[in-house]
C-alpha cells in the first residue's frame, strides 16, 4: 500500500517491512527510473529565497554547500520542499517540574537506536505515539520495568485484520470510504471503537484516549496490549514532577529509582532555509492550499511536499502531491483566486474535528481522489465496471492501491492493470514459505443435513404410519422416509 504508483514493492518483501528493506525499495526505484544522476548527495541547502526578478520570473535562488564546504548559488524555476515535519525534535523538559534534579539518562526518540543500553534498568517512556509504543515494547524485553506516561491516551490498532490479512489492505477500500461519506461521523466512530474494544478494552488497559478514533492518527502496534497484560509495560498518566530518581504522576502514584527517560514527544516543523515571507499562519506556521502551496506567493513556484499527517500511507500521497504540484508549476493546472483559496481553507479548518491537527491531518482515499480528479488520473469506476468488470470490481471492492492512479490520464502506466489484479499474490507470497496442503472438506454440513432429514423422517413416521407406536420405532425405519437419491448424495 505504500509503494509508489508506478513500481509495486517486490513480491518477496514482507507486507510490513524492516527499515532496511524500505531503503532497498527506494534504491530500487531510483535505479529503475535512472534518478541517481539527478541527486546531489551530502549537499546542504542553506537558503531558498526569491530571485530579484521574482515578480516577473517566479524563480528562486538556492544557496547550497557541499561536503567540501564549497558554496554555490543556483537559479531554479521552481522548488519542491520535501523535508516533511519530522525535522525538529521536541524536548519539553521545562514542562516537567524538578527535571533538573533527575540524574539518570534521557534522550528523544529520534536518538534512540538500541534497547541494550537499557538492560536491567527502570525506564519511563513519555508519549504514546507510534514511536513511543514501539520503543516501550522493545524496551520491555530487556528493561527491568518499563512505564509509559501519556497525557492523552491512544487508540491502538493491530497490523492484522480479518483472517490475518494486513490491516491497511482491508481498511483502505473505496467501498468503505463510500460508507464513511454516507454515514454520520459519530456513528462510524462508535462502531469502530466498539470493535476495537472487543479485542481489548482500552479503558481496562489504561489506553483510552480523550479523542474519538478518527479525530487523530491511531497507534499501530500488535504487542503493546500483550505487554500490558504481562505487566512488563505499565501505563501511567502525565508526569507531575521529578524528585531526583523518583517520578511522581498526576494520579498521586510514584515510581522510584528510575534510571532513564525516553521522550517520545514528537517534532516541530522547521524550514530554516525558507524566507519569512512564506510563513503566513499564526505562530510562524505554514498555511498551505491543499497542503502544498503557500497562498501568499505571487507565483505558485514553491511547493511543500509531505507536510501532512496521513490516515494512510504517506509515500503515494507525497507522490500525488508532487504530480499535482508540477502540473500547477508548469501552468497545466491553474490555481483559483486568493479569495477562493482562503474561503476553501477556512471551510476545511471548520470541518476538522481537531483544530490543532487541522492543517496536517488528511485521509488517504479522499485526498488522493481530490488531487487525482484535477490531474485527470482518478479511476472511472463506472466505466471500468462496464468495459472491464474484473478490474472494476477490484478497484471498487479491493484495496485502493496507488496503482489505481496510473490507469488513465497523464502518466498512465501500462502495467497498472496487472499490478491491481495481482495485489493479493504479492500480499500472500512472502507468507507462503511453508505450503500447507488444503484440509479435507468438513463433513459437518452433511451431518447437519442428515440430522434434519432424520428428524423429519421420525416426525413423518409418527404422524402417517399407524404401524409405528414410538419414536424408536420410527428411528429403526427412518430409511423408509428418506429418498434414496438423497442418501446417495450424502454417500451414506
Name, in order, each residue with C-beta under 8 angstroms of 216's C-beta and a sequence gap of 6 or more.
209, 354, 357, 361
Looking at the domain assignment, is residue 191 inside a domain?
A: yes
The residues that bridge with 79 in the sheet, in sequence order, are: 302
Boundary-marking domain end, from 217, 237, 268: 268
Burial environment of residue 165 by CB neighbours within 10 A (0 to 12, 13 to 18, 19 or more): middle
Residue 323 counted as domain residue = yes
Of the three residues 431, 465, 482, the one that is the final residue of a domain is: 431
Give the β-pairing of 145-149 and 309-311. unpaired
Cell readout for 466 is 399407524
For position 479, what pLDDT does the model report?
47
**Residue for cell digits 478490474?**
391
CB 370 within 8 A of CB 344: no
Cα angle 236-133-266, degrees, rounded to a multiple of 5: 90
Is residue 299 domain-shared with residue 319, that is, in the same domain? yes
Give domain status of residue 5, yes or no. no
Question: Are 301 and 77 a contacting pair, CB within 8 Å?
Answer: yes
Number of structural domains (the chain) is 3
Listed in sequence order, the residues at least 6 apart from 174 whose beta carbon sits closer than 8 Å to its beta carbon are 365, 381, 395, 396, 397, 400
| Strand partners for 242 | 247
Q: Which residues contact 225 (CB under 8 A, 6 or more apart)?
A: 156, 199, 200, 205, 207
The answer to whether position 448 is within a domain reads yes
Q: Report pLDDT for 430.
A: 93
Residues 178 and 308 both lie in one domain: no
Three cell numbers, residue 72: 554555490
Same domain, 151 and 196: yes
Which structural domain, as residue segments, surrounds residue 99? 88-268
Same domain as 220, residue 119? yes
Same domain as 311, residue 190: no
R_g (Cα) of the chain, nearest Å:
30
Strands 79-81 and 246-249: unpaired
Here the cell at position 273 is 532555509
Quote the CA–CA distance of 440 and 449 in Å, as a whole number.
18
Three-state SS letters, 434-487: CCCCCCCCCCHHHHHHHHHHHHHHHHHHHHHCCCCCCHHHHHHCHHHCCCHHHH
- The dihedral region occupied by 69, where left means phi > 0, alpha psi between -120 and 50, and beta the remainder, is left
Residues 235, 334 within the same domain: no
Query: Quick check: pTM over 0.75?
Result: yes
Query: Of 289, 326, 83, 322, which is closest to residue 280 (Cα–Cα)?
Result: 289
3-state DSSP call for residue 149? strand
Instruction: Examine the fold and report which residue of 268, 289, 318 is the final residue of a domain before the chain moves on.
Output: 268
Same domain, yes or no, for 129 and 237? yes
Residues 288 and 416 reside in one and the same domain: yes
In a domain? residue 168: yes
Domain membership flag for residue 438: no
Judgement on whether residues 183 and 233 belong to the same structural domain of the protein: yes
141 and 92 housed in the same domain: yes
Grid coordinates standing for 240?
A: 507531575
Calculate ∠ Cα 325-373-419, nearest 5°.
90
Beta strands of 167-275 (E only): which ranges? 219-220, 233-236, 239-243, 246-249, 254-255, 260-263, 267-268
Burial 436-447 (b: 16+ CB within 10 A, else e): eeeeeeeeeeee
> Cα–Cα distances in Å, from 347 out to 304, 341, 432?
21, 10, 48
Rounded Cα–Cα distance for residues 42 and 169 (Å): 37
Question: Do residues 44 and 65 touch, judged by C-beta distance below 8 A?
Answer: yes
What tens-digit pLDDT sequence spans the chain (492 residues)?
999 999 999 999 999 999 999 999 999 999 999 999 999 999 999 999 999 999 999 999 999 999 999 999 999 999 999 998 888 999 999 999 999 999 999 999 999 999 999 999 999 999 999 999 999 999 999 999 999 999 999 999 999 988 889 999 999 999 999 988 889 989 999 999 999 999 999 999 999 998 999 888 999 999 999 999 999 999 999 999 999 999 999 999 999 999 999 999 999 888 999 987 677 655 456 788 999 999 888 899 999 999 999 999 999 999 999 999 999 999 999 999 888 888 887 777 666 655 555 568 899 999 999 999 999 999 999 999 999 999 999 999 999 999 999 999 999 999 999 999 999 999 999 999 988 887 776 666 777 877 888 887 777 666 655 444 555 554 455 445 444 444 444 443
Category of 473 on φ-ψ map: left (φ > 0), alpha (ψ -120 to 50) or beta: alpha
Residues 214 and 248 in one domain: yes
Q: What is the pLDDT of residue 276?
A: 75
Question: What CATH number is associated with residue 140?
Answer: 3.50.50.60
CA 434 to chain centre: 29
User: Could you tell me if 137 and 35 lie in one domain?
Assistant: no
E strand or H helix at 37, and its extent?
none
In a domain, 316, yes or no: yes
User: What is the pLDDT, as a whole number, of residue 34?
Assistant: 96
Task: Check residue 99 and give its pLDDT.
Answer: 96
Distance CA 117, CA 469 (A): 83
Q: Is residue 10 part of a domain?
A: no
Amino acid at each position: 500500500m505504500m509503494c509508489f504508483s508506478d513500481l509495486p514493492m517486490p513480491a518477496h518483501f514482507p507486507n510490513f517491512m524492516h527499515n532496511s528493506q524500505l531503503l532497498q525499495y527506494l534504491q530500487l526505484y531510483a535505479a529503475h527510473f535512472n534518478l541517481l544522476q539527478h541527486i546531489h548527495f551530502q549537499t546542504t541547502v542553506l537558503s531558498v529565497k526569491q530571485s530579484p526578478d521574482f515578480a516577473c520570473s517566479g524563480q528562486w535562488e538556492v544557496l547550497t554547500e557541499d561536503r567540501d564546504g564549497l558554496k554555490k548559488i543556483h537559479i531554479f524555476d521552481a522548488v519542491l520542499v520535501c523535508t516533511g515535519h519530522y525535522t525538529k525534535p521536541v524536548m519539553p523538559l521545562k514542562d516537567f517540574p524538578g527535571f533538573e534534579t533527575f540524574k539518570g539518562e534521557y534522550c528523544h526518540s529520534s536518538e534512540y537506536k538500541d534497547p541494550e543500553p537499557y538492560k536491567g534498568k527502570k525506564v519511563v517512556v513519555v508519549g504514546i505515539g507510534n514511536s513511543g509504543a514501539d520503543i516501550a515494547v522493545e524496551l520491555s524485553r530487556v528493561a527491568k520495568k518499563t512505564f509509559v506516561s501519556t497525557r492523552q491516551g491512544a487508540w491502538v490498532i493491530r497490523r492484522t485484520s480479518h483472517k490475518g490479512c494486513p490491516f491497511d489492505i482491508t481498511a483502505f477500500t473505496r467501498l468503505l470510504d463510500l460508507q464513511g461519506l454516507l454515514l454520520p461521523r459519530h456513528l462510524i466512530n462508535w462502531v469502530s471503537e466498539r470493535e476495537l474494544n472487543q479485542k481489548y478494552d482500552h479503558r481496562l488497559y489504561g489506553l483510552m484516549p480523550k479523542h474519538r478514533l478518527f479525530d487523530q492518527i491511531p497507534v499501530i502496534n500488535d504487542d503493546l496490549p500483550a505487554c500490558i497484560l504481562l505487566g512488563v509495560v505499565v501505563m501511567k498518566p502525565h508526569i507531575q514532577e521529578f524528585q531526583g530518581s523518583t517520578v511522581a504522576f498526576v494520579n498521586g502514584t510514584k515510581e522510584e529509582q528510575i534510571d532513564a527517560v525516553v521522550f517520545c514527544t514528537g517534532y516541530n516543523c522547521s524550514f530554516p532555509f525558507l524566507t519569512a515571507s512564506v510563513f503566513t499562519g499564526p505562530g510562524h506556521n505554514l498555511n498551505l492550499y491543499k497542503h502544498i502551496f503557500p497562498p501568499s506567493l505571487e507565483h505558485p513556484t514553491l511547493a511543500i511536499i509531505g507536510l501532512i499527517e496521513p490516515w494512510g500511507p504517506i509515500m503515494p500521497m507525497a507522490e500525488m502531491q508532487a504530480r499535482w504540484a508540477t502540473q500547477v508549476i508548469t501552468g497545466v493546472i491553474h490555481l483559483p483566486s486568493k479569495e477562493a483559496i482562503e474561503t476553501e481553507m477556512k471551510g476545511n479548518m471548520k470541518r476538522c474535528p481537531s483544530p490543532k491537527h487541522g492543517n496536517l491531518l488528511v485521509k488517504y482515499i479522499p485526498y488522493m481522489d481530490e488531487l487525482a480528479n484535477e490531474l485527470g488520473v482518478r479511476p472511472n469506476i463506472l466505466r471500468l465496471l462496464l468495459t472491464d468488470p474484473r478490474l472494476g470490481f477490484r478497484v471498487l471492492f479491493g484495496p485502493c492501491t496507488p496503482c489505481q492512479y496510473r490507469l488513465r490520464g497523464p502518466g498512465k502506466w501500462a502495467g497498472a492493470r496487472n499490478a491491481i489484479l495481482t495485489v493479493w499474490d504479492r500480499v500472500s507470497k512472502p507468507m507462503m514459505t511453508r505450503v500447507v496442503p488444503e484440509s479435507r472438506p468438513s463433513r459437518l454440513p452433511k451431518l447437519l443435513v442428515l440430522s434434519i432429514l432424520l428428524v423429519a423422517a421420525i416426525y413423518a413416521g409418527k404422524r402417517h404410519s399407524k404401524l409405528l407406536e414410538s419414536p424408536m420405532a420410527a428411528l429403526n425405519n427412518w430409511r423408509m422416509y428418506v429418498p434414496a437419491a438423497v442418501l446417495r448424495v450424502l454417500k451414506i
